[in-house]
């Protein structure tokens, strides 16, 4: 039971980090795309 708890905790923290990274990449891509469109004008 403890091992299961440990595994879920590790998975949750890993998933959170992954989610944060995906969010950052999306944000950067959005900013870059916006800047690119402004340069094109």
- Start-to-end Cα distance in the chain: 60
Q: How far is CA 34 from the centre of its chain?
A: 19
Q: Which two tokens stand for residue 23?
A: 């969010």
Scan for tokens 């469109």, then name that residue.
37
The pTM score is 0.55
Scan for tokens 């708890």, then name that residue.
5
DSSP line for 11-27:
HHHHHHHHHHHHHHHHH
Query: How many domains does the chain fold into?
Result: 1
What domain range is 9 assigned to? 1-40
The per-residue pLDDT for range 1-41, each reduced to its tens digit, is: 789 999 999 999 999 999 999 999 999 988 888 877 777 76
Predicted confidence at residue 8, as pLDDT, reads 94
């Amino acid at each position: 039971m403890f091992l299961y708890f440990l595994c879920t905790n590790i998975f949750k923290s890993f998933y959170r980090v992954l989610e944060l990274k995906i969010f950052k990449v999306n944000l950067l891509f959005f900013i870059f795309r916006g800047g690119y469109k402004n340069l094109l004008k």
